[in-house]
Every structure is written in structure tokens, then in C-alpha cells.
Amino acid sequence: MVEYRVGIDLGGTNIVAGVVSHDTKKNEYEIIAKAECKTAIPRPEADVCDSMADVVKKAIRKAKLTMDDIAYIGIGVPGAVNPETRIVETSPNLFFKNWEVSKMMEERLNKYVKIENDANAAALGEFLAGSAKGCKNAVAVTLGTGVGGGIIIDGKIYSGSNFAGAELGHMVIVKDGKKCGCGRRGCWEAYASATALINQTKDAIVNEKAEFSYMLDAVDGDMNNVTGKTPWDAMLAGDSTGKEVIDNYISYLACGIVNVINIFQPDVLCIGGGVSKQGDNLLNPVRAIVEQERITKHNDKQTVICAATLGNDAGIIGAACL
């Protein structure tokens, strides 16, 4: 028997909806159609819901299904999400508080809507169908507009008594450091997100003293064209400034990962989000730092650090399987 559900990954940059088929006999999950649009924050809650409803309908049409074929809809939302009341209590990256997103989406789609923190949804997706499949304990770190964390303990999502227990991006790694969207200073998110990497790249370009800037030339002299990929391309081309940006970024990323491993000791820690597409160029130096700094360096069993195999699809599958 095959069941169909829709998962929505609501990010600070993009909204992506996917129709997920679940083969209940084989216990396999597959995204059979997707649609997306820009989140275009800041804007009113109702407008964001309108966009989510539109991409859901487009994805269902692409799958050659109707709304009647869909069992229910799940949404992964960044921030403190209460799955019981189905209210987003706070979402710093979306600038919303006490958002009744499930109610608003049910009014638009006439389907039951479940919600979960987006990183928790991604962790669930990897646990069910990706790099953490078959594990008992796992952590998924998502590097995007912010730094998301999803924790699976004994096969279940851990989110704490107030549904915000997996906000790994908001642990401080630099006391009195850069200001974070949550209001604190020095959060991991302010140093290891894709947004942070872009800002670090722009700062490096501005502060370059050489007459020729490889990275500025690569973006045609327009700082608005800088992306999280810019410093990686520069480093791989032999540019020293690009390498310095990446070395610093990796040190911040690894610092947080060591903290997470020391606290949770998961079987697998998988890294997702756009930055994870760098593969071993990212993972190998992170692993090297973790090997030196983890508290369990002399233990036989170690946490496996790997890329999230589902990529950006993890959040869709996880949301669809809430």
C-alpha cells in the first residue's frame, strides 16, 4: 500500500513543498514531485501562508494527484515550534511570534496540518530514510540561513519540555561575540550558518589589501553577488583570502560540533544545508578538529560525522512523516 503526504520545508530563503509517497510494506519514502518559491521575508504571516498553499497545490498537480489523495500535510518551521498546540511560538529568522500556522494553512487547504521545528523535521527525515537510518541516537545539523539542530534519542525527536530543546545554533561559542538574530551575542549560528559565511566573505573582501581581489572579481565587483560558494571556489583556485575565510569558518563550525558530540554522543552526526554540498572539502577538516578536541578521543566507538544524504529533501520527508 502506498500513502501520499505533503511535506513543506519553510526556510528563511525558500519555501519548498514535496509530495512524499510512503510504501508501507517496504517502509520506503520517496519524493515524487516538488514545487518552490522565495520566502521573501519580511512580510505578513498571511502572505507566507498563501505562498505555502500555492506551492503545495503546484506540487500535487506535478505528482498528477488531487488534494483528496493526500493524507495530511506537515511543515518544518525554523524556531520554537509547539507540535501539540501547533503554534510557532517564536521564529527569529521569519520575525514571527505566536503564529497559528496550522490553523491558517488548514483554512487554505482543508487538510490537517502538523508542524515541527525544521531541523527536527530534517533529523527525522535522515533517521527514517537517510544517513541516520538504522541508528538509535542521531543529531542532524542544518547549515542554512541559520544553524538548525535536530536530535533523535532512542528513535524519537527530542525537543525538551518547551519544544525548543534542539536549538543548537543558539549556544554561545564566542562570549560577547557577534549579535545573533535571537538577541544574544556569540551564538554558533552567528558564526557557522551560510549567512555568517557570506558575511565573513564580504568582510574579507572589504579588508583585502592586495591590489587584485580574486573573490571580488569572481562576483563581477558586486558584493550582492557573494554567496556561500564564493570563498570555496576561491580557496580551490588557490586564493589565500578565500582559504583564510574557509579555515576560520571551519574552526567555528567544528567548535560547535565538538560541543554537540560531547553532550549527546550520537551514533551519527549528519550535516545538511547548502554548505554541506562541499562534501569532503568541508567534512575532512571538521573531522580532523573533532578528533583532536572531543572528550572521547581515546574511546573505541566514535560518532560518525557525515553529510546528510537526503540533502535539502530531508526536511520535506521529515515534515511529511510527522
Kindly state whether residues 164 and 41 are assigned to the same domain: no
3-state secondary structure the chain: CEEEEEEEEECCCEEEEEEEEEECCCCEEEEEEEEEEECCCCCCHHHHHHHHHHHHHHHHHHCCCCHHHEEEEEEEECCEEECCCCEEEEECCCCEEEECHHHHHHHHHCCCEEEEEHHHHHHHHHHHHCCCCCCCCEEEEEECCCEEEEEEECCEEECCCCCCCCCHHHCECCCCCCECCCCCECECHHHHCHHHHHHHHHHHHHHCCCCCCHHHHHCCCCHHHCCCCHHHHHHHCCCHHHHHHHHHHHHHHHHHHHHHHHHHCCCEEEEECHHHHHCHHHHHHHHHHHHHHCCCCCCCCCCEEEECCCCCHHHHHHHHCC
Kindly state whether residues 122 and 146 are assigned to the same domain: no
Kindly state whether residues 100 and 239 are assigned to the same domain: no
Kindly state whether residues 176 and 294 are assigned to the same domain: yes
Kindly state whether residues 58 and 111 are assigned to the same domain: yes
Q: What is the total count of domains within the chain? A: 2
Domain of residue 52: give its range: 2-128+313-320
Kindly state whether residues 119 and 164 are assigned to the same domain: no
Q: pTM higher than 0.85 for the full model?
A: no
Kindly state whether residues 77 and 188 are assigned to the same domain: no
Kindly state whether residues 200 and 240 are assigned to the same domain: yes
Kindly state whether residues 107 and 158 are assigned to the same domain: no
Kindly state whether residues 65 and 155 are assigned to the same domain: no
- Give the pLDDT confidence of 131-184 residue by residue, as tens digits: 999 899 999 998 988 898 899 999 899 988 877 788 899 999 999 999 998 899
Kindly state whether residues 143 and 258 are assigned to the same domain: yes
Question: Domain containing 182 — which CATH number?
Answer: 3.30.420.40
- Give the pLDDT confidence of 172-212 residue by residue, as tens digits: 999 999 999 889 999 999 999 999 999 999 999 999 887 78
Kindly state whether residues 103 and 195 are assigned to the same domain: no
